[in-house]
Structures are given as C-alpha cells and as structure tokens.
Structure 1
Amino acid sequence: MKLITIFTNRRWRLRIFAVATSLIATLLLTQVVTPSQTLTRDKYLWPFAPTSIWNMPIGSGARYKPAYIQKAYWAGADTIHLYKLKASDPLRSVYAPGSWEVRCSGTRKTTISVLPVPDSLIVPDTVDTSTPNNSSAFLMPDGRTIQQLNPLARCQKSGPVYGYAHSKPVDIYGDGITGSHGGSGLSAIGGTIRKGELIGSQPIRHALKVLLDSKKYYYYSQSIPGYRWPADRADQVAPTDYKGRNPALVMGSLLAIPSWVTEASLNLQTPAAKKLFYALQNYGAYVVDNAGWDCHYIAVEKGVNEEFKQIYGYSMVGKDGRFYEDFMRLFQALYIVDNNSPISIGGGGVRRVALAPPIGN
C-alpha cells in the first residue's frame, strides 16, 4: 500500500493515532524522575518540616537591611558532628565537659544520661589553642528523636561522651529550631551543609548557618540583649564582647543576598561559591555562634572540607585563593532580613523557590 493511501484512509489514520497516543502515554508513565523532581526526601539528610526556618525560602516581602560585613582575614568551616545511632550500639555515659579547654575530664552528669554510640566514634579533645565548637546532633534509634551536645568530645574507645546537653529532645519531623549551638540555642543539624552538597550537581535547598566575629559585628544593649528570634540566647560574654554597631545584627539574625544582586555582579569564579550564592539568595543563613576572631565561618558536616579538597583540589578554609575571594564576596553581599519572624519566616510573601517536599521515611 502506498504511503499516501495510508494517510488518506480513515481506518489507517485512526490506527496511527491510537499507536501514537499509546506511545506518548507510555513515555509519560515511564519517564525517569530526576533529582530535581524528587517527590520525597530523606529525614536525616534533609530534616524538619517544610515550614521550618531551615527549609523556608526567602519571600517577596523580605525587608533587607545592610549588614555591613567586611572582608575577614580567614575563611572558615565550623564542623558539625552528626550521627545516626543504632539500638545495638553500646550505651555510654554522657558527662558535661571538664572545661572548655579540657573536655574529656568532666564527671558531672547531664540531662542526657547515656547514648548508644559505636566504639569508633572518637572526637579528640582540644589541642593547644584550638577549641572548636563541635556542635553535634544524634538521631536516636527510634528514627525520630534528636539529642544534641556541645562541645562534643570523646577521647577513647568505649569511653564516655562529653558535652553540654541541649535540654530538650527535638522531633526530626517538627520545626527543628532549637539545639546545641551554644551562642544562640539553635539547631546543630538544621542549616548544616551536608556531605555532597558543595560538590554535587543539585542546588542546596535549605538555609545555612554562619559565624562572625562578635567584637566586630554582634550588637548588645539592655533593650537588645544580643539575640533575636529564632535564637533564644546570646553568649554569656555578650555584655562585654559584643561590640558591633548594627542593632539588627545579633544571634538569630537571618542574612541573605538580596534579589537585585546577581552571580555575575559578584564575579564569582568557583563552582562551590556559585552554589552558596543561590542558597544564600533563596534561603539565607542564620547567625548561630561567635567566630571568636577575624574569620567568617559557615557550618558544615564533618567530612565536607575533606571531600571539597578532594574534588576541587583546594581547601575551603584559608586566607587566600579563588574560593577565599569568592567566599568573602558572598559575605560582603549579605543583608539582614529585618522582618524575619514566627509569622513571616524569610520575610513572608511569595517564596523564591518551592517548599521542600514531604519526608518519605
């Protein structure tokens, strides 16, 4: 049969239409779901409710106020320790640190009496003048409860765990606000850059956490005692150490890159900085602790800097290099979302990006 006859014959036209329709339906039904089309998320890797402060995007109603953050001497990574615990792991006692400088010497019990931890979990004590914050979060064997300590230390296999306990357990399905960042009372796991997020192809889809030098930036007065919602505290030394002049820049401040700033305008050169740019513009970053010196820190899961260096060939911490310059441009571009509040997280209005998908486990 000639081709022209097929297309002019009504019966053949109907057959061709039916076959084509079937093929299209098959393609639609069997289409592979890409990561950007993820229907659910893993609670441990991407925790808390879609409306949590850590997952809520910046809104069109955000009122931006200059933060006046300047270039710092050092770009730093504040290491956060995150663990999924198993019921089969041995129970170990938890003690408050002996001191900030010598942690594995405490004998006073905390509100968390024991934790099931593997013998392989070792977090060294301080070395010389290095006293990391070591905020930590433990997803308990029930798959729901999060316990948090700060500063975490465990100096010997099968030995006790040390750290000041966050007073209340947190539900991984809840708002996830509170936790073991000692300077602000904010979550250890929420807002932390996870392994794979700075080197993968997918965007970072949550708020971040930053630490600045309190003597340069954080404000304190009798009427503004060094913190704002969602933080529930400032450092104990806030009355003497917070010497910033901007009343809006305190523990709990939400910082973000405004909508009128572009990646091109900042002349960003490195792939990781470009990923951070969109996270900071779409979600922002909460101020959670004190850097303690002329350094801008961003909070990352333990292991992030190591994989960063392996993939890119340079460290994310230091005082020079292309990433350092990009990192400083990002901080200098940050503004304060001054109307961030419980009723207008991220400033309210139309969100810059879609809300997080539901948790699937």
Structure 2
Amino acid sequence: MILVSRPAQHSRRLAPLSVLLPLLALGSACDGRAADEADAPQTDGGGTDGEATAGTRDATLQPFRSNSVWNLPIGTGATYADTTDPATRDFIATNINGMTINTWANWDVYSHPITFASESDPWAQVTDYNDSSRSGSYYIPATAVIANGTDKHMHIIQPARTTIEEAWNVTRQSPTAYRAGRHHKIELHGSGIGPANGVRAYGGSAIGGLIRGWETDPTHPKYTGKLQHALAVAVDRVQLHYSGGASGYDASGYGTAKGYVWPATEQDWGSETTYKGHVPMGAYFAIPPSVDINALGLSPQGKMVAQSLQDFGAYVTDATGATVAFYVEPTAPSAFVSALRKDLPLIRSKMRRVTNNSASAPNGPGTRRVPMLPELAP
C-alpha cells in the first residue's frame, strides 16, 4: 500500500501527534534559515524578460502573484546539483536503509479539494483545537468536500473570490460547526508562503503547487495543455533533514526546529526525532535544461508534468510515508492521474536540487526560462 502525507502537528501549546519511524540516522547536510517572505524581494532575478503582462489571470484558478515562488519561472542562471549531492541523492532514492521509496500522485486520497462558497451557504464556525487564535467563521457549503484520508483537508474559496480558508484534520460537527487541527485564511493575491500562512508542514499555503483539475481537463474553457507553475512535492521523513533545535515557534512564527530552507518557515513537529535524511523542508528541485523531455517516452500527461518541472520546478512542502508524492486536485480526470502515476518514477529520477535558490534570487537567478505569467485580474 502506498502511504501518504501527514502534515506537521502545528500546535504551539499541545504535544505533537508524531509518527516515529524506526529508521537509521543519516548524516546531516546543509541548513538554512528561511527569510521572512514579506521582506524578501520576489523579483524576476534580474532578468530582462521578467515583466508580467496585464492583469487577466483568475486567482481562483491559478492563485498568488506572478512573482510568487509558485508562479515564477526558473531562472536561466539556476545551478543544478548532481547525483552525488546528499539532498538530490536522497530525493531520487528508491530505497533508503531498507525502506522502499515509491513515487505517486495523491488524488482521490490525501489530496487538497477546493470548494467555492456563496453568500447563500451556511455561515460556519471553524474551531482550531490546537490554537484558538486561528479559529474563524466564514461561508462553508453544507456539501463542502473534506479530503479522504487522515489528513482531512478542506479548503473553501470565499464569495469575494479573494481569499481561501484552508483547514487540516477537519471534522464536520454540523453544517455550521467544524473542528480542525490547523486553520488559516490565505490571500489569493498574496505570495502563498509563510510564516504561518497555510496548513502544510512548510508553513505556507496548501494549494500552492497543486495540479488543478481544470489544468488537466481538455474540456475546460481555460485548458492550455500546460502546467504553468511550480509543483508541490512531499517526501518521507527518512529523506527529510533536521539540523538542530526543538519543535516550537519563535515570536515571528518561524519554526525553532531547524533544517528547513527558504521559502519554508517551519517543518514537522517532532522532526528532531523523525527526520533522518538530507532533504531540507522547502528545498527546490527541477529537471535540468540538459534533459530532453521529448526523448523520455512519456505519456502526454507525464510530459505535461515533466515540462512544468523543467520550466518552474518543485518545492518540498510536506512529509509522507514511504513515497515521494505530487498532488492532484480530486476533480482531475482519472485518465490523467492514471497515466501520470506510470510516468512519475522516471520523472523523479531526472530531478535535481537547485542550489542557488534564495529569497534574493527566487527560483534561481538570471532571466526567466519561459515568459512570466499574466498578473492577476483585479
């Protein structure tokens, strides 16, 4: 059975709900302190072709600013590690210390369903049982989808279409009352990264890097046959890196257990005992430009994802069990997911860590590999 992601336990006041893995420790690798995204220059890396076109993009279909790490094309000055790099070696590994590492696309289970609310829907209270300051009230359709699997994500785009309410480990008590292990309101016109700006282990939005259903459905009026954004990926804790500190948060909302790198602002609660590898939370991976995507023998669906990984890359955002997982919205056609799952092991084997990604050179320096996305419509 393919095991799938369990987000960080984010409570600042309660004991973590961790799953301890009986794995042998690997040596430590690079460390990094995530910069506050509000102060970080989200630029095109100094390129001359980095201007976004006029505001036509729908934030409910492809959220966040054009210069967000989730939408910014990779820079032509990006440097790619080789397979001797500890983080790359662990990321592409198919076996670590006797554990088989599979490659998968979470879709019908452990994914991120998105529901659109209207003002005719119930006004509901979502109680964050780990931190009452994160509780909120907003419109939630009585039929809002809660993801299958123990993660139980529920994400609701509000009627004004400018915010999404993200929640993890959700229980519907009634049409007007919900309980969640973590809840945050996310600005769809914002950056999509933290600190404390989403319900995934890296500290940012859960829908950043999600392959949306409309992107994979040729009958959708906005379908282009392309995934024009970075992807989210999760890896097993045996692959993830811990470097020091204890689980908790500082006054600015950054995690005090370290190992994560920008744009992550935290990592799983309990990482000091469960992380055993060399892949930092927040690490940026991509398929190098030297790889000929057309020569890999991929299905059209696999080629679409591989091209996105070459043009935009992928960020490590969460932890899983015994798999490297990509994320597809549950509304995507099953045929897309079936074909993609067959291709993902080969696709993962071609990915390498980008070693010069930072807040000052997001998604790598240089001119952008492909044109910038249009700005968001007002």
Shift of 1:266: 3.0
1:1-361 equivalences in 2 (<5 Å): 40-66=56-82, 67-68=88-89, 69-71=92-94, 72-73=101-102, 75-77=104-106, 78-96=110-128, 109=132, 111-123=134-146, 130-131=149-150, 133-154=151-172, 158-166=175-183, 169-178=185-194, 179-200=197-218, 201-215=224-238, 217-222=239-244, 225-244=258-277, 246=278, 249-268=279-298, 270-291=299-320, 293-304=321-332, 307-309=333-335, 315-316=337-338, 323-361=340-378
Secondary structure of 1:147's aligned partner: strand
Structure 2 distance, partners of 1:176, 1:345, is 14
Residue 87 and residue 109 in structure 1: after superposition, are their counterparts in 2 closer, same or farther (change >3 A)? farther
Per-residue CA deviation, residues 290-344 of structure 1 (Å, 9 max, x unaligned), is 01x211211222222xx133xx5xx53xxxxx64442011111111112111111
Per-residue CA deviation, residues 253-284 of structure 1 (Å, 9 max, x unaligned), is 1111111111244332x111100000000001
Structure 2 distance, partners of 1:358, 1:174, is 12
- Give the percent of matched residue pairs that are identical in Structure 1 and Structure 2: 29
Shift of 1:118: 1.4
Do 2:115 and 2:145's aligned partners in 1 also have CA atoms closer than 8 Å?
no
- Structure 1-normalised TM-score? 0.73
Do 1:56 and 1:346's aligned partners in 2 also have CA atoms closer than 8 Å?
yes
Shift of 1:109: 4.6
Per-residue CA deviation, residues 158-197 of structure 1 (Å, 9 max, x unaligned), is 2522223445x33222222134343111211221110132
Per-residue CA deviation, residues 218-237 of structure 1 (Å, 9 max, x unaligned), is 11112882311111101012
- Structure 2-normalised TM-score? 0.70
Structure 1 distance, partners of 2:133, 2:172, is 15
AA of the residue aligned to 2:137:
V
Structure with greater Cα Rg: 1
Q: Which moved more, 1:49-58 or 1:68-77?
A: 68-77
Long gaps (5+) in structure 2: 1-52, 83-87, 95-100, 219-223, 246-256
Shift of 1:113: 2.8
Per-residue CA deviation, residues 58-104 of structure 1 (Å, 9 max, x unaligned), is 00111112412123335231411222322221111212359xxxxxx
AA of the residue aligned to 2:76:
S
Bigger proportion of residues as helix: 1
Long gaps (5+) in structure 1: 1-36, 99-107, 317-321
AA of the residue aligned to 2:244:
Q
